[in-house]
Amino acid sequence: MARGAWIARAALRSIPGVRISGQDSFRTHRWHCHELGCLKILRRGGKNKVRMMGALVAVDLGASSGRVVAGRVVDSVVQSREIARFSHAPIQFPRYGKHDDAAGARPLSDTGRVPAIHWDLPRLWQKTVLALRTLENTDVASIGVDTWGVDYGFVAEGEVLGAIRSYRDQRTEGVAGEFVRTVGAQELYQVTGLQMQTFNTIFQLLADGKNEARRAELAVAEKILLLPDLLNFLLCGVMAAELTNASTTGLIDPVHRTWNSSVIERMGKAVGQDLGVKLPDLVQAGNCLGYLNQDVAQLGTTASPARIINVASHDTASAVIAAPLIERSAYISCGTWSLVGVELDSPVVTEASRKANFTNELGVDGTVRYLKNIMGMWVFNGCLAQLREYHPDLTVDKLSEAARSAPALRTVIDINHPVFTHPGDMCQRIQELAQLSDQPVPETPAEIARCVVDSLALAHARAVKEAAALANVDISSVTMVGGGIKNTLLCQLTADACGCPVTAGPVEATATGNLLIQARAHGDVGEDLSELRNIVRSSFDLIHFEPESSVEEWRSAERRVFTHHFL
């Protein structure tokens, strides 16, 4: 192990309540691109079979950054190497009202409206292709793409039409309520199982139907493709909808795991178009969609170009695959969002579940990800970006360390408050919520950061307790994965607030889950989901956090802000 790895492990061990188990996840895999193709010995029936296993490539795009990872599974251990990492962000464009006079129009934002928010699809595509081309001398077996959910694009005559709107665009405001009043909130939840979020695909499409330009694009579109399906189409020319991501749309029947014809028919009437013909066929994770277009990148061999595999294309679904869950364990996939929930065999569509705003998204192998969306590191990172204007040298690590020194539970807020949904002055919003609840107003960077981390841990604990009650399951531990677990203070506080042990790891759970589904599609690992999770345990250090403070302290903090108590 490199000296730096020993230092990293020592630093983690120095944190009170933390212990490390498992294999050494800090070791550096010293293999290069041309070494990714390897001989693998399979022992079946007492005989050795030798065959070539090419590299597996995960294209993992989050809402604020993207990464391309090449890997393989050898002797039940995931070996992976980051090929590229890049940041990205939605682009804001001013919107102008219609006008007749020569003076021109003023931005709609001047009248209280906000700009249109688009994803930079050309940048995402360019960065992905450039990363793939660095592997052109590599034997690549397959590529899998995962992204966030709900957002989509239109395709006609083999090309992408128009812009890809971001779920943070506010064009859906008012649309959701209007449709829900028509259909009925209870009925809609019973047939879709999806929580009420104004950015759900179903409401974005309704908003498109009310916009003249977008309605025209929708009319000529041959297919509506969610973002990972759109990227797969660009890679191989085949259109399909992978189920885990499709389940975020509000257009899926979570019981039968099919497109929901009754909802789609009502949607079609609302927008004046037949949406059913514009939705592609559903496919399961592990499906081989096609072969990489060699004009994009020359990967694989002439006889066998790289395959495009439908992985669990919703990033949370891939992350949960790689969450080393044990019996009676909840999960938290912590990144821009914190997705907090439990893995079930069937959806929960009770009225209590609807009122609690829990969602039933679909996982692999017939599972249901019963969860709640919590504003994750989105608020923390928004505060960091603001604070850097006055403290240019401030980093995530420095701000996290500063939070440790600030008083615990001095000020807590509802981190899931709607005011945090859209970009803007996060620090001011925190201070205003503190004032409204008659708590000390955080002023310094350390106080603001501590408020965010305490509030996020409290939100995690409330969601875990609520999920357990609504799904009628007992929870005795929590597993955290994703980039947010690099904030070890958050992990420790989550253990404290939940009053149970927390196991954290791996950080790159989404890319790992992506790679594991590809490996399973090639027959390189076992079929069972528990077997995939055993591979994760063998591949990464898992960091354990034990509760250190009384849950009563968190109950007291909860009462300052919330009417309904779960702790």
Active-site residue, 315 included: yes
Question: Between the CA atoms of 475, 476, 479 and 480, what dihedral angle is there, to the nearest 10 degrees?
Answer: 80
Pair 435, 441: CB distance under 8 Å: yes
Token digits for 57?
A: 């490539």
Return the pLDDT at 43: 30
> CB 520: neighbour CB atoms within 10 A?
23
Buried b (16+ CB within 10 A) or exposed e, 105-125: eeeeeeeeebebbbbbbeebb
Query: Which residues of 75-169 form beta strands (DSSP E)?
Result: 77-87, 91-93, 116-119, 140-146, 152-156, 159-161, 164-165
86 against 48, higher pLDDT? 86
Buried b (16+ CB within 10 A) or exposed e, 442-470: beebbbbbbbbbbbbbbbbbbbbbbbbeb
Token digits for 464?
A: 């875990």
From the list 315, 454, 496, 541, the catalytic residue is: 315
Question: Between the CA atoms of 187, 192, 198 and 204, what dihedral angle is there, to the nearest 10 degrees?
Answer: -110
pLDDT band of residue 97 (cuts 50, 70, 90) is low
Mean pLDDT of the chain: 88
Burial class (CB in 10 A: 0-12, 13-18, 19+), 429: middle
Can you tell me the distance from the alpha carbon of 311 to that of 288, in angstroms, rounded to the nearest whole number? 9
Can you tell me the distance from the alpha carbon of 563 to that of 560, in angstroms, rounded to the nearest whole number? 8
pLDDT band of residue 28 (cuts 50, 70, 90) is very low
- Stretch 231-258: mean pLDDT: 98
Model's pTM, two decimal places?
0.87
Alpha carbon separation from 30 to 80, 156, 511, 559 (Å, rounded):
10, 44, 19, 52
Alpha carbon separation from 164 to 199, 389, 495 (Å, rounded):
13, 30, 38
Percent of the chain whose predicted confidence (pLDDT) is above 90? 78
* The pLDDT of residue 366 is above 80: yes
Summarised one tens digit per residue, pLDDT across range 527-553 is 999 999 999 999 999 999 999 999 999
Can you tell me the distance from the alpha carbon of 547 to that of 225, in angstroms, rounded to the nearest whole number? 44
Token digits for 485?
A: 């677990």
Return the pLDDT at 110: 41
> CB 215: neighbour CB atoms within 10 A?
14
Three-state secondary structure along 248-300? CCCCEECCCCEECHHHHHHHHHHHCCCCHHHCCCEECCCEEEEECCCCCCCCE
Give backbone dihedrals phi and psi of 361, rounded to 5 degrees, phi first: -95, 150
Q: In degrees, to the nearest 5, what angle opens at C-alpha 37 toward C-alphas 511 and 520? A: 45
Pair 300, 292: CB distance under 8 Å: yes
> CB 274: neighbour CB atoms within 10 A?
12
Can you tell me the distance from the alpha carbon of 372 to that of 469, in angstroms, rounded to the nearest whole number? 13
Pair 456, 561: CB distance under 8 Å: no
Of 177, 156, 153, which Cα lies nearest the Cα of 166?
153
* The pLDDT of residue 242 is above 90: yes
Summarised one tens digit per residue, pLDDT across range 328-359 is 999 999 998 999 999 999 999 999 999 999 99
pLDDT band of residue 422 (cuts 50, 70, 90) is confident
Q: In degrees, to the nearest 5, what angle opens at C-alpha 17 toward C-alphas 5 and 334? A: 70
